[in-house]
Amino acid sequence: MEPKQGGTVPNSLPEDVAVIDSGRSGRTGYPEVVYCRGKTTAQAEAIIVRMREEQIPVLGTRTRPALAKRILARFPDAEYDTLGQTLTIGRFCAPEDRRGLVVVVTAGTSDLPAAREAAVTAEFFGSNIALINDVGVAGIHRLFARLPEIRKARVVIAAAGMEGALAGVIAGLVSVPVIALPTSIGYGASFGGLSALLGMLNSCAPGISVVNIDNGFGAGYQANLINRR
């Protein structure tokens, strides 16, 4: 890593970029996923290209539009969800092999980015999914109207910002595990999702476990693991 004299050292050599965890499938049953934020476009692209060369199906999360555009141009079978910022290339699980149902529920429209990241992730790894939007507890009849659909789930993901009460209310109404997905929606004393996170961690309803703020990927992955167990 001797910097060159009299000039600018390039960002890093290709071999520095990342160590693809090719044994991951063997250990955990699922391939690695590319978290694109914090990587330069060049780094992320290099990783994706290498994975495709090894024919690993790709799920990229937090994929900025500019990066997505490059990948879509290069891989004709790539798909990009502009709201959830997920990118997929190839299939880890064929549609006909999907099993069970993961229902993703949001408190409000602003929670859709995290919710769709969760939904795309769970589908990618082999779950059937449904997304029920905008049924927050401030108008609780909206939630009750959708309970029959929610009760079809093997696992429910509850995405909510602000006070995050949705997860606890649902957990008291269903007999399956609820994955609570706090979002950074809100302002002032929501402190970037901290309020929703704390609310969900402190829910007095059992049957809830929580992922990081805006971690739709983590929620979808865990929901799929539980669903396909």
Binders of its own copies in range 76-105 (CB under 8 A): 76-83, 88, 95
Interaction with its own copies in 54-73: which residues (CB under 8 A)? 68, 72
Asked if residue 14 binds its own copies (CB under 8 A), the reply is no
Q: Are strands 34-35 and 58-61 parallel, antiparallel or unpaired?
A: parallel
Q: How many CB atoms lie within 10 A of CB 202?
A: 11
69-75 contacts, C-beta under 8 A, 24 or more apart = 70/41, 70/45, 71/45, 74/45, 74/49
Closer CB to its own copies, 4 or 55, in the complex = 4
Asked if residue 110 binds its own copies (CB under 8 A), the reply is yes
Among 49, 74, 140, 149, interactor with its own copies by CB under 8 A: 140
d(CA 197, CA 213): 7
Among 101, 107, 118, 156, interactor with its own copies by CB under 8 A: 107
Asked if residue 120 binds its own copies (CB under 8 A), the reply is yes
Q: Taking Cα atoms as reference points, which of 13, 61, 4 lies closest to residue 37?
A: 61
Asked if residue 226 binds its own copies (CB under 8 A), the reply is yes
Number of residues that bind its own copies (CB under 8 A): 124
Whose structure tokens read 């939007």? Answer: 133
Minimum CB distance to its own copies, residue 58 (Å)? 13
Asked if residue 218 binds its own copies (CB under 8 A), the reply is yes
Minimum CB distance to its own copies, residue 91 (Å)? 10
Interaction with its own copies in 188-207: which residues (CB under 8 A)? 188-207
Asked if residue 158 binds its own copies (CB under 8 A), the reply is no
Per the DSSP assignment, residues forming a β-bridge with 170 are none
Tokens coding 145: 């109207």
Closer CB to its own copies, 55 or 204, in the complex = 204
90: Cα within 13 Å, side-chain hemisphere: 15
Asked if residue 149 binds its own copies (CB under 8 A), the reply is no
Minimum CB distance to its own copies, residue 20 (Å)? 9
Asked if residue 49 binds its own copies (CB under 8 A), the reply is no
Closer CB to its own copies, 57 or 209, in the complex = 209
d(CA 207, CA 101): 17
Minimum CB distance to its own copies, residue 184 (Å)? 7
- DSSP character string of 151-199: TT-SEEEEEE-TT-THHHHHHTT-SS-EEEEE-----GGGGGGHHHHHH
Helix (H) or strand (E) holding 132: strand 127-132
